Amino acid sequence: MKRLAQNKNFKLGITIFSIVAACILFFFFIFKIDEVLIALKWIMKLLSPFIVGFAFAYLLSPIVQFFQDNLFLKMFKDKKDQKKIKSARFLSILFTFLLVLAVIIILFSRIIPELLTSLEILIRNAPMYLEQIRDYFLHLLKNHEELEIIVLNNLDAINNYLLTTINNNFLPKIEEWVVIFSNGIFEIFKALYNIVVGLIISIYFLYDSEEFKGQIKKTLYAFLPIKNANGVIDFARRADKIFGGFLMSMLLISSLLGVITFVFLSIFNFPYKVLIAVLIGVTNVIPYFGPFIGGIPSALIILLQAPSKFWLIVVYLIGIQQVEGYYLAPKVSGIKTGIKSFWVLFAILTFGSAFGLPGMILGVPVFALIYSYAKAKLNKTLEDKNLPTDNLVYAKIDRINLEDKNVFKKKSN
C-alpha cells in the first residue's frame, strides 16, 4: 500500500510539473513571440540543406524505387541478398541522378535560353504588336463605323496606359531592381549552395532510406506506448501516400500538358512555342485554376504576335482546360488523395485564399490528410456504437431508435 501511495504521489507530482512547465512555455511563446520566431528562423536556416536534401530524396524516391524494382534488381538472381539489394539501390540512385543531370543540362542549354530570348523579343516588340492588333481590329470592323470608333478609343486608351505604366513604373525601377539583384547575389549563391549540398545529402537519404525508417520506428516504439506508436506510423504512411501520390500525379499531368501544347503549337507554327508550353505546363501544377493562370497570358502573347491565330489558341486552351479541369485533375487528384472533386475545389479555394500560391498547390493533399484522419475517427466512433458508416445509409435515414438502435428510413413520397 505504501509503495502504491508513493507511486500515485509520484505520478501526481509529474502531472503537476508537466502542467506548470506547459504553462511557462505557453506564456513564453505568447509574450516572447518575436524571440521564438527568430529562434525558429535560425533553426530553419541551420537545417535548410537537410530540408532541401529530404525534399529531393522524397521527390526522387519513386523514380529510384522504379529503377531498382524493374531494372537493376532483376539483374541479380538472388534478390533477397542484402549486398545485391544495396548494389541495385546504388545503381538506381546513380541512374536517377544522371537522368536529373541530363534534364538540368537540357534546361540550361536549350529551354531557358530560348525562354529568355522569347521574353526579350516580346518586350522589345510590344509597341509593334499593339499596332498590329489595332490594324487587325480595324480590318474586322471596317464596315462598322460606330464599333470602329469605340474599339479605336479603347485601344488608344490601353496603349497609352501601357506606355505610361512602362515609362513611369517599370523603367524608373530598373535601377532599383539592379541594386536589389546585386545585393541578392549572396542570397542566390547561398541558395545554390543549399541545393548542391541538399542533392548530396539526398543521396545518403536515398541509399540508407530503409535504415533511417528503421531508426525512426525504433525510437517511436521505445518512447511511446505501442498503440500511440502504431498511430503515428499509420498517420505518416497515410501522409506519404497522399502527398507522394498527389505531387507525382500533378507533375506528370503538367509535364504531359506541356509536351502536348508544344506539339500542337509546332504543328500550327505558332510563335513562342517553348515559352507558352512551359507557361502552360508550370501553371497546371495548380488544379482547376492553372489552365486559366497560364492560358490568359498565353492567349495575349499570341494576340500580340499573331492575331490571326488568336482564336485557334483560344479554342485549344478551352479544350485542354476542359480535359484537365473536369477529367484529369478531379480523377487523378481524387484517386490519389481519396477525396471527391467538390472537396478538391474547396481545398484549392480555401487554402489559396489563406496562403496564396503555395496554398493552391499543397492545399489539396493537406486537406485530404485532415479529411482522411477525421473520417477514420468518425467511422471508429460509429463502429463503437454499432452504427453503419456508409454515407448513403444516413441519407435515407429518418431516425435511429435510442433503445435498440434500429434504423428507421425515410418514407418515400
Query: Tens digit of pLDDT for each residue in 43-59?
Result: 888 888 888 888 888 88
Beta bridge partners of 408: 399
Contacts of 293 (CB under 8 A, 6+ apart): 283, 286
Q: ∠ at Cα 157 (154, 161), nearest 5°?
A: 140
Domain of residue 234 covers 226-392
111 in any annotated domain: no
Residue 176 located in a structural domain: no
Instruction: Please name the helix (run of DSSP H) or strand (run of DSSP E) that holds residue 193, with its range, or none.
Output: helix 185-207
Angle 223-227-233 (CA atoms, 0-180°, nearest 5)? 75
The answer to whether residue 398 sits within a structural domain is: no
Asked if the structure places residue 315 within a domain, the reply is yes
Q: Which residues have CB under 8 Å from 302's CB, separation 6+?
A: 270, 271, 272, 276, 309, 310, 313
**248 within a domain of the structure (yes/no):** yes
pLDDT above 50: residue 17: yes
* pLDDT at site 410: 53
Angle 226-51-203 from CA coordinates, rounded to 5°? 90
For residue 59, give the C-alpha cell: 521527390
Q: Is residue 258 part of a domain?
A: yes
The whole-number pLDDT of residue 1 equals 46
Residue 339 has pLDDT above 80, yes or no: no
pLDDT of residue 171: 55
In a domain, 232, yes or no: yes
pLDDT band of residue 74 (cuts 50, 70, 90) is confident
Q: Out of 177-191, 203-217, 235-249, give the one with best mean pLDDT.
A: 203-217
Does 289 have pLDDT greater than 70?
yes
Cβ burial of 343 (10 Å; 0-12, 13-18, 19+) is middle
User: What is the signed CA dihedral for 368, 373, 375, 378, rounded to 10 degrees?
Assistant: -160
The number of folded domains in the chain is 1
- What does the pLDDT average to over 106-124? 74
Q: Looking at the domain assignment, is residue 345 inside a domain? A: yes
- Which pTM was predicted? 0.67
- What is residue 403's predicted lDDT score, i.e. its pLDDT? 61
Greater pLDDT, 288 or 3 = 288
